[in-house]
Amino acid sequence: MSGDGFHVHGPHDHELEHAAQSGDKFSGKLAVTTAVLATIGALFGYQGGATQNNAALYKNNAAISKTSASNQWNYYQAKSNKQNLAELAISLPGVDVARYKAEVERYKAEKEEIKKKAEVLEAESTDWEHKSDEQLHQHHRWALAMTAEQIAISLAAITLLTRKKWLEYAAYGVALLGIGLGILAFLHF
């Protein structure tokens, strides 16, 4: 990043630039590998963020459905109270019994409709919760894959500095592990 003569490097940027400009095949290969791993890691990071956002959205939808179901159950309870009052009124002397019996039947019918709506909303809430859990599980898979790619990039940078062949193999191994985790995330395992 430069501007007005001020130039800031990341910890291994200078080494990567130097490796890319020199004719050193070892350094050039690791520089290309690092760039490829960074691209793969960025894709994994995007997928991880997307699944995390989906999990939050689905959790929010579950809460909305749960609240709506609760509202329906409260409405059901209010109708039950009115039905109970109408049933009580039937036993009072001097009242229009037919009117209160009709109200009892009306409240029973209304309660059935309200109960059905509440149960549907509860089922929707459970479904949204399940979808949220699935997305969160996916997020963890993508995050693990991205972390492995970041570790592989760090190992590649250390390899450039130390020129240790075993570190190069470790970087490739961790990179393959990250790619494997990414494939598992993609396949929803």
pLDDT tens-digit readout, 5-17: 665 666 566 655 6
What pLDDT, on the 0 to 100 scale, is given for residue 189?
82
Provide the 3-class DSSP secondary structure of residue 148: helix
Strand, helix or coil for residue 6: strand
What's the pLDDT tens digit per position in 155-173? 999 998 888 889 999 999 9
Is pLDDT above 80 for 23?
no
- Which H/E stretch holds residue 2? strand 2-3
- Cβ 32 vs Cβ 180: under 8 Å: no
Question: Encoding tokens for residue 41?
Answer: 């890691």
Q: pLDDT tens digits for 92-110?
A: 888 888 999 999 999 999 9
Length of the chain: 189
Q: Average per-residue pLDDT in the chain?
A: 89
- The whole-number pLDDT of residue 39 equals 92
User: How would residue 20 be classed by pLDDT, with cut points 50, 70 and 90?
Assistant: low
Q: What is residue 10's predicted lDDT score, i.e. its pLDDT? A: 61
pLDDT of residue 94: 87
Q: Does the pLDDT value for residue 88 go beyond 70?
A: yes
pLDDT at 24: 73
What mean pLDDT do residues 75-101 have? 92
Give the integer Cα–Cα distance in Å for 99 and 159.
Answer: 89
Residue 28 — pLDDT band, cuts 50, 70, 90? confident
Per-residue confidence (pLDDT) for residue 135, from 0 to 100:
94
CB 175 within 8 A of CB 157: no
**Using an 8 Å Cβ cutoff, are 18 and 102 in contact?**
no
Say what percent of the chain tops pLDDT 70.
88
Rounded to whole angstroms, the Cα distance separating 69 from 2 reads: 57
What pLDDT is stored for residue 81 in this prediction? 95
pLDDT score of 127 more than 80: yes
* Segment holding 13, helix H or strand E: helix 13-21
CA angle 106, 107, 108 (to 5 degrees): 90
